[in-house]
């Protein structure tokens, strides 16, 4: 799992049939201190997140597919939670 920040929405005029009706988000993965971690990724949204939200990402294919009720779909990353805060101890 990763923490990320939603930086945009993705609009696709043509996509795989299993993605129909699914919202796609552009998410910047973050380190625990809030700095960017690599390149932005496209994730299927399962929690109605929006631009500016800090989110929890699942990045393993089977877990991502099943978290959005689309087993056997070409999904590698999904947003599975909106984070209110992160506390490091």
Return left, alpha or beta for 65; rule: phi > 0 is left, psi -120 to 50 is alpha, else beta. alpha
For the chain, what are the domain ranges? 2-11+20-82
| Residue 80, CA distances (Å) to 12, 13, 14, 46, 55 in order | 21, 24, 24, 6, 7
Q: What is the predicted pLDDT for the residue at 80?
A: 94
Residue 32 near residue 61, CB atoms below 8 Å = no
Task: Please report the pLDDT score of residue 45 as a whole number.
Answer: 93
The CATH number of the domain covering residues in 2-11+20-82: 2.40.50.220
pLDDT digits (tens, 9 = 90+) for 3-55: 999 999 999 888 787 777 789 999 999 998 899 999 999 999 989 999 999 99
Contacts of 84 (CB under 8 A, 6+ apart): none
């Amino acid at each position: 799992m990763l923490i990320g920040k939603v930086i945009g929405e993705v609009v696709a005029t043509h996509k795989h049939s299993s993605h129909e009706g699914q919202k796609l988000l552009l998410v910047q993965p973050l380190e625990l201190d809030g700095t960017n971690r690599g390149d932005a990724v496209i994730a299927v949204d399962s929690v109605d997140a929006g631009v500016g939200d800090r989110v929890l990402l699942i990045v393993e294919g089977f877990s991502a597919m099943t978290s959005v009720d689309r087993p056997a779909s070409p999904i590698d990353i999904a947003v599975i939670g909106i984070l209110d805060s992160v506390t490091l101890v």
